[in-house]
Chains A and B, each alone.
Chain A
């Protein structure tokens, strides 16, 4: 991986926007409330990420602003609606819409979730868990094969944040993901917050989970904030809310992860209670400082 200086001039943006891969820098989710500020101030940032489904519209301000922003920044397209873990067949119409969006914006990365979100005709608008067993593995691999075939590119699969486990599970989550990566050749979108949330919720060791994931396939990292609850026994139950600053524990786990993966493109996710852009830029900057430290240690 090439080393990218932490403070590049925003005018260097155009060539960065055309790079083959996302840079190993901090990035932010693109939010409509920040469109104008981004265009007016051109913040120094590694990349932006969009939720694919929000841009599956015919025209209007979303495409207007994204087109402008795309000229200056690398882009990650992150799907939330493919339902890769779903029992039903993949929605080919949705895959077509995705292919159109990807052809239009030529993102450096495309990712989706290890989860399901549709059942029959109903879209549940949430990322739902599935048991880790041979039947799910077979289905998920078939779906990822189809996605990669239709889109003509490798996708990254994101590890989930979950709140329940299944009696029907026969594999550890990390082994399941490792097997999917091995069989399909997809990459890993390593959501460090999800690792922390799921490990807390299921009594596992977060560092051991990081070690057990297929880190060599990791192409991007997600960081986010969580909300805190408790379960019926009074044990902590963390909720992947995307509505708070990143916790100290997740920053520590991120540092632990980088020591094993080397620097990776790192997205700060915030989808609820969205603050002003400078607040998020400061979090992206915090990630960049850890990425820089990681590079200096490697050197």
Chain B
């Protein structure tokens, strides 16, 4: 037995059990090896089920676990930090033929993964409203101002009603009222200890993404003006401030 053979057989149910296994009573060791096989695949599927809870609710447990099994065999973890397992699961779902009838599923999974990332992101205090007000009052330097955002923050622009679908599974909204193919943009961030998911306008999403990419306030505002002439810049900055999501200016 070497560990390569053992590991290969764990991750490929079609391979025979590795050579060199024995049992004290002469029973077939392959039968015992299946406990390891089962432990590994079930633990990986369980890890995905923990992260992608709403995705599972949308397709049902049987479908989800079958889909997660295919993914886990093809994409076993490459990190010992299991909290972040499944980063490529949404992309896998998008091209998983049996899920093709649910075009929103991959984005719901993306949203759920962003929530996990936000939950464990670094702690960084937000700056106060006085500091923001002072910076905004400096008309001359305002366009070149850089805005640093909280490490938990992410924007997800979706062609589907991703926020409504998520909210419907938190008991916030009635699922039957959701039009799944209506585009929505999600803002995910951790405020204090709680991860929040909010729907924002596509323009606000583009603006926040621009700031996150490191461009100045003036450049971000100009980019958004091309999308929406009457973009509410002050309101969007106010939201970020209220959620302690601006960490430096």
Contacts and interface: CB of A to CB of B under 8 A. Distances in A.
A233 B30 CA distance: 12
A138 interface: no
A145 interface: no
26 contacts: A58-B121, A59-B121, A59-B151, A86-B3, A87-B2, A94-B80, A119-B3, A121-B78, A122-B11, A122-B76, A124-B76, A125-B47, A126-B10, A130-B3, A163-B35, A164-B21, A164-B32, A164-B33, A165-B22, A165-B23, A166-B1, A168-B20, A203-B24, A231-B27, A231-B28, A233-B23
A31 B63 CA distance: 28
Interface string A200-231: 01111000000000000000000000000101
Given A60-B123, A229-B35, A233-B25, A131 B1 contact: yes
Contacts of A63: 123
Contacts of B110: none
Interface stretch (A9-17, A49-57, A173-181): A49-57
Given A58-B151, A125-B43, A126-B36, A232 B27 contact: yes
A62 interface: yes
Contacts of B163: none
B20 A232 contact: no
Nearest to B27: A233
B193 interface: yes
A123 B80 contact: yes
A261 to B, nearest CB: 27
Given A62-B120, A131-B20, 15 more contacts: A57-B81, A57-B83, A59-B121, A60-B118, A60-B120, A120-B4, A125-B77, A128-B6, A131-B1, A163-B32, A167-B20, A231-B23, A231-B25, A232-B32, A233-B23
Contacts of A59: 120-124, 151
Nearest to B77: A123
Interface size range of chain A in the complex: 35 or more
A251 B4 CA distance: 38
A126 B43 contact: yes
A73 interface: no
B213 interface: no
B40 A126 contact: yes
Nearest to A86: B3
A131 B11 CA distance: 20
B193 A128 contact: no
B7 interface: yes
Given A122-B78, A123-B80, A124-B7, A164 B23 contact: yes
Nearest to A167: B20
Contacts of B21: 164-167
Contacts of B1: 131, 166-168
B119 A60 contact: yes
Interface of A: 53-54, 56-64, 81, 86-87, 91, 94, 116-126, 128, 130-131, 163-168, 201-204, 229, 231-233, 235, 237, 239
B214 to A, nearest CB: 20
A203 B23 CA distance: 9
B171 interface: no
A60, A116, A130, A237: most-surrounded residue (chain B CB, <10 A): A60
B122 A58 contact: yes
Nearest to B78: A121
A120 B32 CA distance: 24
Given A53-B82, A122-B7, A123-B80, A232 B40 contact: no
B26 interface: yes
B176 interface: no
A56 B79 CA distance: 11
B121 A81 contact: no
Contacts of A232: 27-28, 30-32
Contacts of B31: 231-232
A60 B121 contact: yes
A94 B80 CA distance: 8
Contacts of B10: 124, 126, 128
Contact of A235 (B25, B36, B77, B121): B25
A163 B36 contact: yes
Nearest to A80: B80
B29 interface: yes
A61 to B, nearest CB: 5
Interface in B114-158: 118-124, 151-152
A56 B36 CA distance: 26
B32 A231 contact: yes
